[in-house]
């Protein structure tokens, strides 16, 4: 691997780790464009597969902290993840069958839609203690399953963690507080990422040495992001809007095939 590619991969991993640690779910949507346009991965499918592995590793690292803090709703995560894995399996096969240039164009369009959605104000009625039980299953399952299936389909198709879809999906389905949705989403991100990564790896679309370099960069970025979280807390809304604009701009660049 050329030195320039290693340095670009380290930087890209650090950027994603920084965003994920500072803002939570959503940063991984930049991984594939970074691999294609900054690192220089020539195959769109290899970029998607490699991105899926890196996203899975990032999610597992973040999940450990949330599990210790008790901010994971495991039963809700299990149902959502199971439906999502089915969707991701189908989505990954569809993504691999699509022409690489068209896949990138659709990815760019998705980024624009996601960025616009991030700019919308959040409205939710929080339920402080959401529990998936026999009594609540009739209310929660009809919401968790279809949202999980749809999210998994997109995650598998584009090789993304889908956290930017999972968090609002969990809140819409259960009205759980944001801190629990963020923690719970990492279980699902890891499951969907692993499903997509496995599918692409079996087809030879994962650059394993590059995954290692991205992981190192991601760890450095995450450490910096954790340190800066407190400093950004009072400006979180502004930072999230700036990130949404960045996602839209990158999406437009990718969709236009630049």
Q: What confidence score (pLDDT) does residue 231 get?
A: 58
CA–CA distances in Å: residue 99 to residues 41, 104, 106, 164: 16, 9, 11, 25
Range scoring the smallest mean pLDDT among 64-73, 163-172, 227-236: 227-236
| Structure tokens given for 191 | 């499951």
Q: What confidence score (pLDDT) does residue 124 get?
A: 54
> Under a CB-based contact definition with an 8 Å cutoff, are residues 184 and 147 in contact?
no
| Structure tokens given for 54 | 């890196």
What is the average per-residue pLDDT within 89-112? Answer: 84
Query: Mean pLDDT highest for which of 72-76, 171-175, 222-226?
Result: 72-76
Coil, strand or helix at 159: coil
Range scoring the smallest mean pLDDT among 47-51, 142-146, 179-183: 179-183
Q: What confidence score (pLDDT) does residue 29 get?
A: 75
- Residue 200: pLDDT above 80? yes
- Residue 6: pLDDT above 90? yes
DSSP 258: -
Q: Classify residue 55 by burial, with Cβ atoms within 10 Å: 0-12, 13-18, 19+.
A: buried
Domain spans, the chain:
3-255
- Residue 23: pLDDT above 80? no
What is the average per-residue pLDDT within 153-180? Answer: 79
Is the four-CA dihedral 26, 214, 222, 57 of positive or negative sign? positive
> Under a CB-based contact definition with an 8 Å cutoff, are residues 52 and 168 in contact?
no
Average model confidence (pLDDT) for the chain?
81
Reported confidence tier of residue 236, pLDDT bands at 50, 70, 90: low
- Residue 158: pLDDT above 70? yes
| Close Cβ partners of 124 (under 8 Å, ≥ 6 residues apart) | 171, 172, 175
């Amino acid at each position: 691997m050329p030195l320039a590619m290693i340095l670009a991969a380290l930087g890209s991993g650090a950027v994603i780790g920084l965003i994920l640690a500072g803002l939570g779910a959503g940063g991984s949507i930049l991984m594939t464009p970074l691999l294609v346009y900054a690192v220089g991965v020539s195959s769109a499918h290899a970029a998607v597969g490699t991105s899926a592995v890196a996203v899975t590793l990032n999610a597992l690292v973040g999940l450990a902290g949330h599990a210790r803090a008790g901010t994971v709703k495991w039963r809700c995560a299990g149902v959502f993840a199971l439906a999502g894995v089915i969707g991701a399996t189908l989505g990954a096969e569809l993504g691999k069958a699509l022409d690489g240039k068209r896949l990138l164009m659709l990815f760019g369009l998705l980024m624009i839609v996601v960025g616009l959605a991030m700019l919308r104000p959040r409205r939710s009625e929080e339920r402080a203690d959401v529990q998936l039980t026999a009594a609540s299953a009739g209310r929660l399952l009809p919401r968790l399953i279809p949202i999980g299936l749809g999210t998994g389909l997109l995650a598998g198709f584009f090789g993304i963690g889908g956290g930017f879809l999972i968090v609002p999906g969990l809140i819409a389905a259960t009205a759980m507080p944001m801190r629990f949705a963020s923690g719970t989403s990492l279980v699902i991100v890891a499951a969907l990422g692993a499903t997509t990564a496995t599918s692409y790896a079996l087809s030879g679309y994962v650059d394993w040495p590059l995954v290692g370099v991205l992981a190192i960069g991601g760890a450095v970025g995450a450490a910096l992001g954790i340190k800066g979280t407190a400093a950004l807390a009072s400006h979180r809304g502004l930072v999230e809007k700036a990130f949404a604009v960045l996602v839209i701009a990158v999406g437009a660049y990718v969709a236009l095939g630049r």
